[in-house]
Chain A
Amino acid sequence: MHYILQILPSLLGGAKLTLEIFFWTLVGSLPLGLIVGLGLTSHFKPLKAILHFYVWLMRGTPLLLQLIFVFYGLPLIGNGIFTLQRYDAALFAFILNYTAYFAEIFRGGLQSIPKGQYESAKVLRLSYWQTIRKIVTPQVVKIVLPSIGNEVINLIKDSSLVYVIGLGDLLRAGNVATSRDVTLIPLVLVGIIYLLLTAVLTFVLRKFERHYSYWK
């Protein structure tokens, strides 16, 4: 017990970084994902081609590689004008990666809105953006919520990949303690903290889904 209390501060410090990356990635990638998703459903071929390429690139390579590339690779280009701090590099890579996944989810949601909804908005004289904001997005959100939830849970665990660029997240804090003190307890604690975090997220996501169940 004494040992647990001793290492808990460093674990919680790691958890704080994990949560920060988690939070800011969502803030960045959810709106961007919706916008890219809209682009993927547009009729403008060049835009669609570019976005498809982007999604293919982001989903087709490991997130770990992307992290390493952004932090260690980019500074090698153009005399280091693309050099990012560790934390910024992590956020940049995560937002880029998660936007691609969210975009695909939103694309699916957007395509499941019947054409008639756009047409009835059109004969009611709503503009394109009014239609997107007031008619399409609320319906898409309800449809995509379960899939978004899946990615959100993934994200909290994926954030552990930042150890590779030397950031001290939850997993790294546990790992450090385990190798220093030669005991499994820190890793068990790390597992428990991840489980608690995902339990809270699951609960919040359920709440969201229930909130949107007022219509069918």
Chain B
Amino acid sequence: MLELKNISKSFNQRTVWHDLNLKIEDGKILCIVGQSGGGKTTLLRCISGLETLDAGEMLIDGQSFNPTAPHENDAVIGVVFQDYQLFPHLKVIDNITLAPELALKQSAKQAKQTAEKLLERLSLSDKADLYPYQLSGGQKQRVAIARALAMKPKILCYDEPTSALDPGLRDAVKKIILQLKQAGITQIVVTHDWEFARQIADQTFKLEPQQ
């Protein structure tokens, strides 16, 4: 379970959010919704350790943890960025195996096996040897999901997973997110798409711009 306790964040006097409290149960999907400028992405960046909190505390399973100091804990939070940020010079398979090998010290063989399983699960088996520029947007997103999952995160975060996709692909993302839920993965989805949130969320949290 992830718990955010009285967290606050501001940039140069401008308060993004103040004294925010939030809980997410294991295996559930939390959607963070709201207009742009409401600090949704900032919240996600704090949870994933890309920004620091000004105040407050983050707890995982009751234990305080600091996502900006990744080596103190094993892979905890995975992120699928809005623009995916795949590594353009690496093949799909190497995009996925790189971090498990370097950060989790998995053997090349072990990392490859895990990656192949993930690719199969996300119907990307035939794309393993392609480079990111050869993929469509939806395929890139699935590679980004596989890459994050390979690190065995406790929580997987998505930043606006539907915004860069064709409307038709929205359902495909929904299916993947629900599938991963069945597999027991805790997920946090930042979106401005209320309809999408309504379809997948177990829990919805609304963030609006501060006055």
Given contacts A134-B102, A216-B133, are A122 and B85 in contact (CB under 8 A)?
A: no
Count residues of A near B (Cβ-Cβ below 8 Å): 21
A120 located at the interface, meaning its Cβ lies under 8 Å from any Cβ of chain B in the complex? yes
Interface of B is mostly: loop
Q: Does B53 sit at the interface, judged by CB under 8 A?
A: no
Q: Which of B53-91 contact A (CB under 8 A)?
A: 70-71, 75, 77-79, 81, 83, 85-89
Chain B residues with CB under 8 A of A215: 88-89, 131-133
**B50 neighbours in A (Cβ, 8 Å):** 119, 122-123
- Given A124-B99, A125-B103, A215-B131, A117:B49 Cβ within 8 A: no
> Chain B residues near A117 (CB, 8 Å)?
85, 87
- Distance of A116 Cα from B98 Cα, bound (Å): 17
* A60 close to B (CB within 8 Å): no
Does A78 sit at the interface, judged by CB under 8 A? no
Q: A116-B81, A214-B131, A216-B133 are in contact. Are A124 and B88 (CB under 8 A)?
A: no
Q: Is the CB of A216 within 8 A of B81?
A: no
Nearest CB of A to B140, in Å: 12
Q: Which residue of B lies closest to A216 (CB)?
A: B133
B89 engages A125 (CB within 8 Å): no
Kindly state the separation between the CA atoms of A124 and B50 in the bound complex, as whole angstroms: 11
Tier of interface size on chain B: 20 to 34
Instruction: Using CB atoms, name the residue of chain A closest to B98.
Output: A134
Nearest A-chain residue to B82, judged by Cβ: A116
Among residues 135 to 167 in chain B, which have CB atoms less than 8 Å away from a CB atom of chain A?
Answer: 147-148, 151
Known: A215-B133, A216-B133. A123 touches B77 (CB 8 A): yes
A175 within 8 A of B: no
Q: Chain A residues near B79: list those with CB within 8 A.
A: 120, 123
Q: Are A123 and B133 in contact (CB under 8 A)?
A: no
Whether B88 contacts A139 by the Cβ 8 Å rule is: yes
- Residue B191 at the A interface, CB < 8 A? no
In the complex, the answer to whether B85 meets A116 with C-beta atoms within 8 Å is yes
CA distance A96 to B165 in the complex (A): 50
Question: Hey, which chain B residues are within 8 Å of A119, CB to CB?
Answer: 50, 81, 85
With A124-B98, A142-B89 known, 7 other A-B pairs at CB within 8 A are A119-B85, A124-B103, A124-B148, A126-B102, A134-B98, A138-B89, A215-B132
Residues of B within 8 A of A (CB): 48-50, 70-71, 75, 77-79, 81, 83, 85-89, 98-99, 102-104, 131-133, 147-148, 151
